[in-house]
Amino acid sequence: MKGYSITTLNEFIIRRQANIPYAKGELSRLLHHIGIAAKVVNKKVNKAGLVDVLGEAGNINVQGESQQKLDVFADMQFTAALSDSGECCGIASEENQEIITFDDDLSKDGKYIVCMDPLDGSSNIDVNVSIGTIFSIYRRISPRGDKAQLIDFLQEGNKQIAAGYIIYGSSTMLVYTTGQGVNGFTLDPSIGEFCLSHPNIKTPETGSIYSLNEGNYLKFPEGVKKYVNYCKEEDKSTKRPYSLRYIGSLVADFHRNLLKGGIFIYPETASSPKGKLRLIYECNPIAWIAEQAGGKASDGKNRILDIKPETLHQRTPFYTGAHGMVEKVESFI
């Protein structure tokens, strides 16, 4: 009988490193630590319902520590993993107003900074619907040996070194790119490893799913309203009407569309003229993955990856997914 062969995330990272001349393994170590934090958060996500049922989610646990909400827990877990890696001198997170610098000698010497949304789709936690984590890695601009600085984090998305997301869904997956295509790994709970399950992901050139919060229709810009109506029109040659699918977790909505073909839209609205989603830790990493899979990402007019961030928590309208569909909505805008 023949055993089945698997490629684990760590093995894959190391193989990829061998293709990069002069790579010293720093990025590999960083990605490895992100993988570990993902497994810890995954365990916690799986128990989220139970903890509620059993009433353990009170204020104080047995260790006398106050119990944390899942997004705070995820933030702490990823922060600890990145700090432990020794390769990262600082992070920006949705959960913290300012950047966090790691000031021990090892970390200060680290080449990289990380931007993250530790838990994306928080409103879906309590109802057992898919949630995620998004991360983005840059080479620092400030000198190694110094504390990380704000300028390290305000780089254009086209300077990313690696980007990815974890989806905690009916199975847990980690999907990432280092600029050589997109690869997806599914967590095999029986061996506790992320295993290569979706090599070299390519998104369809066009699709038949559109995803946006249509409840905000009246507040959408005219071009988006027209595009939504276009999605609903009957036309066999373009497989319209399209299907509307919207979970309300960017990671889950994007992941489905990446595999099946579709467009995700979070436009500017009358009440939030810059949209809702954050450029540096939500849109940039997702945009790079979209492009690496053959798709497209824009703010309706400009390529997301070419926007120069001015502030840490800057928002941007976001249109991403199948190349043809993003081009189409741009033509309406």
* Options 116-124, 151-159, 172-180, 303-311: segment touching ligand AHG (CB under 6 A): 116-124
Task: Beginning with the edge strand found earlier in the chain, give each strand of the sheet holding 209-211 in spatial order.
Answer: 243-244, 209-211, 262-266, 318-321, 296-298
Residues 14-73 interacting with ligand AHG (rule: CB under 6 A): none
Residues 145-184 interacting with ligand AHG (rule: CB under 6 A): none
* Options 120-128, 190-198, 253-261, 266-274: segment touching Mn ion (CB under 5 A): 120-128
If the CB atoms of residues 18 and 218 are measured against ligand AHG, the closer one turns out to be 218
Query: Per rule CB under 5 A, is residue 120 in the interface with Mn ion?
Result: yes
Q: Cα-Cα-Cα-Cα dihedral of 285, 271, 324, 160, to 10°?
A: -20
Query: Which residue in the set 149, 213, 238, 314 belongs to the binding site for ligand AHG (CB under 6 A)?
Result: 213
Query: Per rule CB under 5 A, is residue 75 in the interface with Mn ion?
Result: no
The site partner of 241 among ligand AHG, Mn ion, none (C-beta below 5 to 8 Å per kind) is none
Q: What is the DSSP string of 169-207?
A: SSSEEEEEESSS-EEEEEEETTTTEEEEEETT----SS-
Query: Per rule CB under 5 A, is residue 94 in the interface with Mn ion?
Result: yes
Close Cβ partners of 61 (under 8 Å, ≥ 6 residues apart): 67
Closest distance between Mn ion and the C-beta of residue 92, in Å?
A: 13
Closest distance between ligand AHG and the C-beta of residue 200, in Å?
A: 26
Residues 237-266 interacting with ligand AHG (rule: CB under 6 A): 248-250, 266
Residue 285's Cβ-side half-sphere holds a number of Cα atoms within 13 Å equal to 29
The site partner of 248 among Mn ion, ligand AHG, none (C-beta below 5 to 8 Å per kind) is ligand AHG
Q: At 201, list the tokens.
A: 């992901």
Number of residues that bind ligand AHG (CB under 6 A): 11
Query: Per rule CB under 6 A, is residue 317 in the interface with ligand AHG?
Result: no
If the CB atoms of residues 7 and 96 are measured against ligand AHG, the closer one turns out to be 96
Place of tokens 């373009």: 238
Q: What is the DSSP string of 25-70?
A: SHHHHHHHHHHHHHHHHHHHHHHHHHHHHTT--SSB-TTSPBPPPH
Query: Per rule CB under 6 A, is residue 268 in the interface with ligand AHG?
Result: no
Residue type, 2: K
* Options 26-34, 117-125, 190-198, 296-304: segment touching Mn ion (CB under 5 A): 117-125
Close Cβ partners of 175 (under 8 Å, ≥ 6 residues apart): 164, 165, 166, 167, 182, 183, 184, 185, 198, 201, 255, 258, 289
Q: Give the residues lining the site for Mn ion (CB under 5 A).
A: 94, 117, 119-120
Q: Give the residues lining the site for ligand AHG (CB under 6 A).
A: 94, 117, 120-122, 213, 248-250, 266, 276
